[in-house]
Chain A
Amino acid sequence: MILQVENPVVEVHDLTVSYERKPVLWGIDLTLPAGALVGVIGPNGAGKSTLIKAMMDLLPVSSGYVRIFDQPLKQVYSRISYVPQRESVDWDFPASVFDVVLMGRYGQLGLFKRPRKADKDAAMEALEKVGMQSFANRQISQLSGGQQQRVFLARALAQNADVYFMDEPFAGVDIATETAIIQLLRQMRDQGKTVIVVHHDLQSASEYFDWVVLLNMRLVASGPTEQVLNQELLEQTYGGKLTLLSKVGDLLRKQEFPAREKS
């Protein structure tokens, strides 16, 4: 079930990505609607991170193209932000929390310009949104995993973009941070922003996302959560992976007896 939308925010056409001639993503055709909280879901090695990196042109693609707001990526850099995986940077780097969040403003500033007061205010405001304002002067090596993730999120928020790509923002964070992040993402969606999240936990997926992309090297499904998260499509995505099939079982049981109200 691959649903294409009218006036998509992100349009991926016939995208193939290979590492050393070994394809990791095959012929992805995908459109994503505006103002949605999108989950990219699939087993390990399915190419989830690769897909969002290719959407942002961070990787060389073998074929296909990506358009965002119906324009080539180069023209819409200022409307795109990215929350990389937490482990992708060196947290012992000599920088403060505020230094990192201010980086979110660098794209708009342009060459040779220093951050002005408006930029500093925006960075501080972003820190407040993630509840980290009292950590502004803290050295980044002193943060916990959840706090690191919030700082990365604040950096993306400071940019005030329209499309956000997030790579596993819930990986290895505490429950309080996970709840805070998902609330923030819902607020962003309600403001009309599009948030695309790589996620590996099937259980929370149905609760968190409006739109789900199921991926396992090929695109298995893309559509509204309730239409996509069913046994048949999940088996197609996770097929043969026994440990994950038990998770699918859990999920289906939860669908029969919902433990929590969907918000």
Chain B
Amino acid sequence: MNAFWIILTGSLVATCCSLLGCFLILRRMAMVGDAISHAVLPGIVIAFLFTGARDTVPMLIGAGLLGVLTTFLIEFFHRFARVQADAAIGVTFTWLFAIGIILISVFAGQVDLDQDCVLYGEIAYVPLDLIITEGGLSLGPRTVWMLVVVTFLIGLFIVLGYKELFLTTFDPAFAAAIGISTTLWYYLLMGAVSLTTVASFESVGAILVVAFLVAPPATAYLLTDDFKTMLGISVLLGIIASFAGYYLAVWLDGSIAGAIATVTGIEFLLAFLFSPSQGRLRRQKRVQTVGH
């Protein structure tokens, strides 16, 4: 049963991250996902200090606000301070993450959080924190329920906003010219990334979130020319990685999050080598046959 809950948790995180990641990589903003996943830390700590408990909703709000603040700061430094986009991302998120670390260490006595947990997560503990009804019936882990809700919200956001997200990603100037606000959809997308990050961070950690945001979409990009197919493939790849990563970790007796992230990397490598349209090996073969 524990294996089931762990794999389900991994798959739910993978689904949210892969869907949003497809938009991020096509906007050349994959590293903004990285930035948000780290920069939400002070938001979580502050929410914790205010409420004094590890409640989900205040944490989601605190982290969501910090996520949007991060994207705003990145835009601000890039546009008005005329710093390169990647430099703006680097400065912003390391600074916010560092503030989070200081807050944790200063209020260590009061805050039931630690840095390792934030970075690496502990997906193996997911099945321990169960929701148990008054009658003593177990409804399954708290984290899984929260992730089910978040996955549903992200799915709904992408289905309802599909054409706006698609258009503002492909051609923002045309979108603006026909009256679709690029700023609004940019911040909605970033809000969704913040929500996903904070919902996933305590179970899987920031590193696996970044892996899921970038690797499955990048792999799917190599495998298809159609955007909807790309969304589907990247979700599938994320779920496969959750399964394979779990059993790899059991076999190695190692970190589950680490193993899952490793599998996403292996998937990318395989696609890079063997993709029917973009694969290195196929392409070389094709060039040779044309050449002779």
A interface, CB within 8 angstroms of B:
53, 56-58, 74, 77-78, 80-82, 84, 88-90, 93-96, 99-100, 103, 106-107, 109, 111-112, 114-115, 139, 141, 155, 159, 165
Contacts and interface: CB of A to CB of B under 8 A. Distances in A.
5 contacts: A56-B177, A89-B171, A94-B229, A99-B166, A109-B163
Given A94-B221, A94-B230, A112-B160, A107 B180 contact: yes
Contacts of A155: 174
Contacts of B164: 106, 111
Which among B171, B224, B227 has the highest number of chain A CB atoms within 10 Å? B171
Interface residues of B, number: 25
Interface string B180-210: 1000000000000000000000000000000
B180 A106 contact: yes
B217 to A, nearest CB: 10
User: Chain B interface mostly helix, strand, loop or mixed?
Assistant: helix
Contacts of B230: 94
A95 B227 contact: yes
A84 B171 contact: yes
Contacts of A103: 163, 166-167, 170-171, 174
A155 B161 CA distance: 20
A93 B26 contact: yes
A107 B26 contact: no
Given A88-B171, A103-B167, A106-B164, A82 B227 contact: no
A20 B224 CA distance: 41
Given A88-B171, A95-B166, A103-B171, 18 more contacts: A56-B176, A57-B176, A58-B173, A80-B177, A81-B177, A82-B178, A84-B177, A90-B170, A94-B229, A95-B226, A106-B164, A107-B179, A109-B163, A111-B160, A112-B160, A114-B163, A115-B163, A155-B174
